[in-house]
Structure 1
Amino acid sequence: MLRVCSFESRRAVEMRSLIERQGASATVAPSMKEIPIENNETALAFGQQLKRGEIDIVIFLTGVGAQALLDVLQSRHTLEEIQNWIGRTLVVVRGPKPVAILRQAGIRVDHRAAEPNTWREVVRLIDDTPIPVAGQTIAIQEYGQPQKELARSLEDRLATVIPVPVYRWELPDDLSPLEEAVRRTVAGEFDVLLFTSAQQAVNVLEIADRLGIKDAWLNAARQCVIGSIGPTATETLDGLGLSPHLQPSHGKMGHLVLETLAFAKTSCR
């Protein structure tokens, strides 16, 4: 039986079920939590800029972030006002999750980037459509960390970029499951490691470093089959010297589990 470790947090129960349905042993160690930014003056200022018609394009990157931003705006404005103000802009989304949130809020979506839904696909969409950005003011709903590559690419195309952060990532309150998973990795107790975000890899390595076993964890992880949800996570893992063995055909948890475990079943014989 394959021994699989995932570092999923928000959908930990679903991840465990997906792994076990493939006949594998599942360890799920939450590695991060999303913290809404309280008293978000930047988001509130963005609302005022929308109201004054100073924003030309809004880019929504995540469903959680889109909902958080709408919640902040609705603390000061009515939904109808927000609908009208955003309706005057061109709305671009990175993937399916913000589409669902925006449609539920009655907000039109003009363009959606193709899979695998990274910042590169957003830029490619802008170039190919083409969406004129030179001289335009573009607001980017950020998530967890600054979207430097996307902002730089838009600025290279002579746009003015306004980042709108709505939540940040931190380590979970209870670190014991993650610490145990790190130690068990070093002990060689896992065949497969699954990463569904770049930040998971960063946080896992931070815990390994705190425990004084960073190099040992990296060496042990390289003996495992590593599955990465998509290009952003893969870039981070590559930078850590942990090149994934597999990136699924679609950036979904189900595809990640199914395809990585199918690969592992042949390679771990």
Structure 2
Amino acid sequence: MYHEQHGAPAVAPLAGFTVGVTAARRADELGALLQRRGAAVLHAPALRIVPLADDGELLAATKELIDNPPDVVVATTAIGFRGWVEAADGWGFGEELLACLRGVELLARGPKVKGAIRAAGLTEEWSPTSESMAEVLDRLLDEGVADRRVALQLHGEPLPGFVEALRAGGAEVVVVPVYRWMPPEDLAPLDRLLDATVGRSLDAVTFTSAPAAASLFSRAEDRGMLPQLLDALAHDVLPACVGPVTALPLQAVGLDTVQP
């Protein structure tokens, strides 16, 4: 934490700050990164993940696409795409799914997803230079989606406005729900984080997925604390998001966020 420089100890940049971590995945890694920079960490997973092999919705969507291939598939996350292919393998449909995806226009949201697609032996038709779903949507609408079938691989919650815009353009949209989020089985840590946020004993709360933010708001609403939570995040507790997709639920309720 400290090192001598010109005879004086250098204080770690986050020393004295307390940060809430809402992540379910890789929370230990994020917590360690913050602690190495001097922060105290309060961890409260805001959600849990339904295992892929147990998810009947994903199985049904996968079978539907194999039986009736779409015109376009949009892959939104690397872990979601890999998980989808692995789950199909586990169900005995792996080769059929890959054959289906080879015959369609495959769009990747950014370089990480592109890497997952290529690792599966496939080639994407196009990927935006940014990781913006808005760019993907613009490309689809510019091409024209009337009477086209578009499959959208989701990782958690539906993307606000994306499906609606495609359907308004005349597309048939098939949602592929990889990794559904559920509330955590033990709500006590999340309640402690809510109390700490509203009580201003946290300096920041980190969000690494949009569903985590949505789950935090849902729990606050259940406890009658949503107005106090939003007030704290608007004025005293910094909401820090991993990127623009994660920030959407916060922006939808008028909160400003920081993000890389």
> Do residues 33 (structure 1) and 48 (structure 2) align?
yes
Residue in structure 1 matched with residue 84 of structure 2 by the alignment: 69
Distance in 1, matches of 2:225 and 2:29, equals: 30
Task: For residues 161-208 of structure 1, give each alpha carbon's deviation from its aligned partner in whole angstroms, at most 9, with x where no partner exists.
Answer: 222223321112222221111111222211112222222222112222
> Do residues 119 (structure 1) and 133 (structure 2) align?
yes
SS of alignment partner, residue 174 of structure 2: strand
Distance in 2, matches of 1:157 and 1:210, equals: 36
What percent identity do the matched residue pairs reach? 27
CA contact (8 A) 2:65 2:100 kept: no
SS of alignment partner, residue 138 of structure 1: strand
Task: For residues 41-100 of structure 1, give each alpha carbon's deviation from its aligned partner in whole angstroms, at most 9, with x where no partner exists.
Answer: 2221112123xxxx2211111223212322343323352x43333111111011333323
Distance in 1, matches of 2:213 and 2:94, equals: 39
Residue in structure 2 matched with residue 260 of structure 1 by the alignment: none
Distance in 2, matches of 1:107 and 1:235, equals: 30
Calculate the aligned-residue CA RMSD, in Å.
2.4
CA contact (8 A) 1:16 1:26 kept: yes
CA contact (8 A) 1:119 1:149 kept: no
SS of alignment partner, residue 228 of structure 2: helix
Residue in structure 2 matched with residue 261 of structure 1 by the alignment: none
> Do residues 227 (structure 1) and 244 (structure 2) align?
no
SS of alignment partner, residue 181 of structure 2: strand
Larger deviation: 6-15 or 34-43? 34-43
Q: Which runs of 4+ in 1 moved over 6 A?
A: none
Structure 1-normalised TM-score?
0.78
- Paired AA for residue 244 in structure 2: P
- Paired AA for residue 55 in structure 2: E
Distance in 2, matches of 1:91 and 1:235, equals: 25
SS of alignment partner, residue 92 of structure 1: strand
Distance in 1, matches of 2:148 and 2:132, equals: 22
Judged with a 3 Å threshold, the aligned counterparts in structure 2 of structure 1 residues 77 and 4 are, in CA distance, closer, same or farther, namely closer
Displacement of 1:144 in angstroms is 2.0
CA contact (8 A) 1:43 1:165 kept: no
Identify which of 197, 209, 226 aligns with 2:221: 209
Judged with a 3 Å threshold, the aligned counterparts in structure 2 of structure 1 residues 28 and 114 are, in CA distance, closer, same or farther, namely farther
Identify which of 9, 20, 31 aligns with 2:24: 9
Distance in 2, matches of 1:201 and 1:85, equals: 34
Judged with a 3 Å threshold, the aligned counterparts in structure 2 of structure 1 residues 207 and 132 are, in CA distance, closer, same or farther, namely closer
SS of alignment partner, residue 9 of structure 1: coil
CA contact (8 A) 2:157 2:210 kept: no
Judged with a 3 Å threshold, the aligned counterparts in structure 2 of structure 1 residues 78 and 217 are, in CA distance, closer, same or farther, namely closer
Within 5 Å, give how 1:66-215 maps onto structure 2.
66-74=81-89, 75-79=91-95, 81-115=96-130, 117-126=131-140, 131=143, 133-147=145-159, 149-215=161-227
Structure 2-normalised TM-score?
0.80
CA contact (8 A) 1:44 1:73 kept: no
Displacement of 1:34 in angstroms is 2.0
Distance in 2, matches of 1:157 and 1:209, equals: 34
SS of alignment partner, residue 73 of structure 2: strand
> Do residues 21 (structure 1) and 36 (structure 2) align?
yes
CA contact (8 A) 2:155 2:177 kept: yes
Structure 2 spans left out of the alignment, 5+ residues: 1-15
Distance in 1, matches of 2:254 and 2:73, equals: 35
Judged with a 3 Å threshold, the aligned counterparts in structure 2 of structure 1 residues 147 and 206 are, in CA distance, closer, same or farther, namely closer
- Paired AA for residue 89 in structure 1: V
